[in-house]
Chains A and B, each alone.
Chain A
Amino acid sequence: MKRVVITGAGTINALGHDVPETLEAMREGRCGIGQLEMRDLDRLAIKIGGQVKGFEAEGIFNRQQMALYDRFTQFTLVAARQAIAQAGLEFSGEMAAKCGVILGTSGGGMTTLDDNYRSVYEDGKNRVHPFVVPKLMNNAAASHVSMEFNLKGPSFTVASACASSNHAMAQAFQMIRCGMAPAMVTGGSESMLCFGGVKAWEGLRVMSRDACRPFSANRNGMVQGEGAGVFIFEEYEHAKKRGAEIMAEVAGYAMSSDASDIVMPSKRGAARTIAGALADSAIDCEEVGYINAHGTGTAANDKTECAAVADVFGPHADKLMISSTKSMHGHLIGGTGAVELLACIMALRDGVIAPTIGYQEPDPECALDVVPNEAREAKVNVALSNAFAFGGLNAVLALRRV
């Protein structure tokens, strides 16, 4: 089996428009969640989110591209350009034929859907723009990345709600590990912060009106975010031979399904997946120094996740650090695992653990070291990234310091 390393990373999210800005915000425990800016805000009960501010597609994309790219595709391309530039890879010949793009998203082109439903239902128009379908389809982002960078290998989009990015990255990892591809572009994106997207989440009554406070006893729900995270996963020898800078090693993963409930998480399912990722990567639980939690800030997730961690790690659960960066960038749904992987890279490479901000009151049901409010310096050799999606679909990645 081949070893797999990360040689490039890109992002755009509420904390920053690239990786250095995002990591700086995480180090400083800055909150990217604020008042939403969108039309018909007065008709929404939930008015906050981790929105990407100050992003202008003009100048980044030409007019023809803008007509074809939904916001989730724009985010993806911004992040992919950064990641590929950092990795310094060029895709031609055999390399182009073998390398592909696997991305996660849950909603795909929600803004396009929202705008066009409004146009035909509310405004009564009988004609829509010819690009509605190619703009909104879930695979649009993956396809545009493949076109821009000449990636002709296996490319597709994975949708498993809040675990989409982790499932996508697990799949890309597996392709490199088994020798199918020397490198893959992977990660995910989401742009659900449009009127219909927020309204739909409102219906479920799990959204907070003021802040995302994972693990804090006074937490009152999740907050949506948006953005993208894209990485270059590369076969270790391939990266070493060309002298690429290695950010971290992807050591293994596990995926599982609870097969029980469409919205409630399962402790056993989460524990099985965490334990599976350790087994797959041959990591002893004592080696794990940091877990980037799924940590949505809902009552159901946080206590279930903490119980699962306690079950898997036993006494070591009290020694490791576990934080939820959703407190800062919000829940990016299908893109969340990708942005959260950055916190794992920061822990391993820079020795800085991103905090869980907004933490105000200890909860006996979440009695782990959640790195409250302030980042911490610590040497970490192994980090895990958890994702437990609606529908009971779980994916956990294990990363190792190189």
Chain B
Amino acid sequence: MEIRDKVIAIIADQAVLEPSDVTMDSTLEDLGIDSLGLVESIFAIEEAFDISVPFNANDPQESDFDISSVASIVAGIEKLVAEQK
């Protein structure tokens, strides 16, 4: 499974949606994922890819990790996987 598909599967699981309902331009808000859901998704992503995601729930905007859309999350994870492998 590609990184993109795996990330979408994790986000869909969190949002209780089918992966097909999660598009690259969806925002977490669109998908109904709140701050706790986001922290849980990031944990699942870290476990799935065995990486560490720099994310502070206090100030998501200030973190070195862009969560503004599914596309930005996927891009961020791809970068982290490349860096941390």
Contacts and interface: CB of A to CB of B under 8 A. Distances in A.
Contact of B56 (A220, A261, A263, A264): A220
Nearest to B36: A263
Contacts of A7: none
Contacts of B55: 205
Interface in B52-79: 55-59, 62
B16 interface: no
Contacts of B39: 204-205
Is the interface on chain B under 10, 10 to 19, 20 to 34, or 35 or more residues?
10 to 19
Contacts of B58: 205-206, 208, 219-221, 298-300
A166 B32 CA distance: 34
Nearest to B62: A220
Contacts of B35: 263-264, 300
Contact of B59 (A203, A261, A262, A299): A299
A232 to B, nearest CB: 38
B43 A221 contact: no
A300 B36 CA distance: 12
Interface residues of A, number: 15
B79 to A, nearest CB: 19
A220 B54 CA distance: 13
A39 B55 CA distance: 25
Interface in B37-59: 39, 42-43, 55-59
Contacts of B36: 261-264
A206 B59 CA distance: 9
A111 B30 CA distance: 42
Nearest to A206: B57
Most chain A CB within 10 A, of B42, B58, B59, is at: B58
A316 B58 CA distance: 29
Nearest to A221: B58
A395 to B, nearest CB: 23
Contact of A205 (B34, B56, B62): B56
Contacts of A208: 58
A220 B59 contact: yes
Given A263-B36, A264-B35, A205 B57 contact: yes
A205 B56 CA distance: 5
A365 to B, nearest CB: 12
Contacts of A299: 58-59
A271 B59 CA distance: 24
Contacts of A219: 58
A208 B59 CA distance: 11
A264 B38 CA distance: 13
Nearest to B63: A205
Interface string A198-224: 000001111010000000000111000
Interface of A: 203-206, 208, 219-221, 261-264, 298-300
19 contacts: A203-B43, A204-B39, A204-B57, A205-B42, A205-B56, A206-B57, A220-B56, A220-B59, A220-B62, A221-B56, A261-B36, A262-B36, A263-B35, A264-B34, A264-B35, A298-B58, A299-B58, A299-B59, A300-B58
Pairs of residues from A and B, 9 with the lowest C-beta to C-beta distance, nearest first: A205-B57, A299-B58, A221-B58, A298-B58, A206-B57, A205-B39, A220-B58, A299-B59, A206-B58
